[in-house]
Amino acid sequence: MPHGHAQSTWDADPVDLNTDADTPAVIIRPYCQADATDTLAIFLAAVTETAAADYSREQIQAWARPEARELSAWHTAMQARNSCVATVDGAPAGFSDVDAEGHIDMMFVAPRYLGRGVARQLIGHVEARARQEQLTELTADVSITARPFFERSGFTVEAEQHPVTAGVQLTNFKMKKKLVGGEVSLSGQLVCRTQDQAETVREYLQLHLALTRAEPGCLSFNVTRTSNPLVWQVEERFEHASAFEAHQERVASSEWGHATAGIERRYSVIGL
């Protein structure tokens, strides 16, 4: 496997979300041929810009090899890996894949989308897909740049590796995550203090329900009114911790999250 495929370059601080109320959501969808140009550009930018802090100029050139990248071959490889693409406001912002054995071959985020939660959404999607296939672990050959993010996502280092590409030695890490975690559930109440807050909940709730139920790993999500018109009962179930955490990150920067930020939550979580 070519070293450029094995290394993964991630958002340097994926939990540092943009909290602007107008920040668009990160949407994950299947890769298609129309994404070939954009995903190749993301790969090259992530390697030559983001990873440049951790690798020499010679190593970056050997890894990226822009002069050797042919678009049709790139598309064929992306398609063969059953890749997915993360978009922000419709524009490709990152991409990833996971094979039948649970190996993540490529995962890259465009430098301009660092700090937008793209990496977290991608890893949540990949893990949800692996769990749907009843895989027991995820593996990846991870760059120096990507290692801290993978560790925060539950991966551990199995070995330090020194592959040679185009005659140049690089460093990466064989990492693994056991998929042994069970279901995560949240139960509790959303408690409004005023009728204005209750009206805010009613205004934003339907979109919030629809977006959450469409998330990878969401088993059920219900917010229902109680006999008290200021109180809603909240019940959530997610397949695993990564899906629950990805949900929490998305909600933090969503319209619902901003609009209801001042409303009291009385929640308990089981499974983390």
Which CATH number do you get for residue 147? 3.40.630.30
List phi, psi (to 5°) of 187.
Answer: -140, 140
- If asked whether residues 220 and 125 sit together in one domain, one would say no
The per-residue pLDDT for 209 is 96
Non-local CB neighbours of 167 within 8 Å, separated by 6+ positions:
62
Non-local CB neighbours of 130 within 8 Å, separated by 6+ positions:
98, 102, 138, 179
Q: Which of 161, 178, 195 is the last residue of a domain?
A: 178
pTM of the model as a whole: 0.67
The per-residue pLDDT for 100 is 93
- If asked whether residues 169 and 50 sit together in one domain, one would say yes
HEC string of the chain equals CCHHHHCCECCCCCCCCCCCCCCCCEEEEECCHHHHHHHHHHHHHHHHHHHHHCCCHHHHHHHHCHHHCCHHHHHHHHHHCCCEEEEECCEEEEEECCCCCCEECCEEECHHHCCCCHHHHHHHHHHHHHHHCCCCEEEEEEECCCHHHHHHCCCEEEEEECCEECCEECCEEEEEEECCCCCEEEEEEEECCCHHHHHHHHHHHHHHHHHHHCCCCEEEEEEEECCCCCEEEEEEEECCHHHHHHHHHHHHCCHHHHHCCCCEEEEEEECC
List phi, psi (to 5°) of 44.
Answer: -65, -40
Q: 93-131 pLDDT, tens per residue?
A: 999 999 999 999 999 999 999 988 899 899 989 988 998
The per-residue pLDDT for 12 is 34
- If asked whether residues 191 and 141 sit together in one domain, one would say no
- If asked whether residues 196 and 162 sit together in one domain, one would say no
**How many CB atoms neighbour CB 211 within 10 A?**
19
- If asked whether residues 189 and 162 sit together in one domain, one would say no
Q: Which of 147, 178, 209 is the last residue of a domain?
A: 178
Say if residues 15 and 115 touch (Cβ distance below 8 Å): no
**In one letter, which amino acid is 205?**
L
- If asked whether residues 106 and 194 sit together in one domain, one would say no
- If asked whether residues 202 and 142 sit together in one domain, one would say no
The per-residue pLDDT for 257 is 95
Q: Which of 159, 178, 197 is the last residue of a domain?
A: 178
| Mean pLDDT for all residues in the chain | 89
Determine the structural domain holding residue 30 and report its residue range: 3-178
Q: 131-156 pLDDT, tens per residue?
A: 888 888 999 999 999 999 999 888 99
The per-residue pLDDT for 200 is 97
- If asked whether residues 142 and 193 sit together in one domain, one would say no
- If asked whether residues 132 and 262 sit together in one domain, one would say no
Non-local CB neighbours of 59 within 8 Å, separated by 6+ positions:
168, 169, 170
Question: How many distinct structural domains can be found in the chain?
Answer: 2
The per-residue pLDDT for 192 is 97
Helix axes 118-132, 241-252, angle to 10 degrees: 150
- If asked whether residues 73 and 199 sit together in one domain, one would say no
Ranges under pLDDT 70 in the chain: 1-24
- If asked whether residues 204 and 144 sit together in one domain, one would say no
- If asked whether residues 57 and 91 sit together in one domain, one would say yes
The per-residue pLDDT for 183 is 87
Which CATH number do you get for residue 225? 3.30.70.100
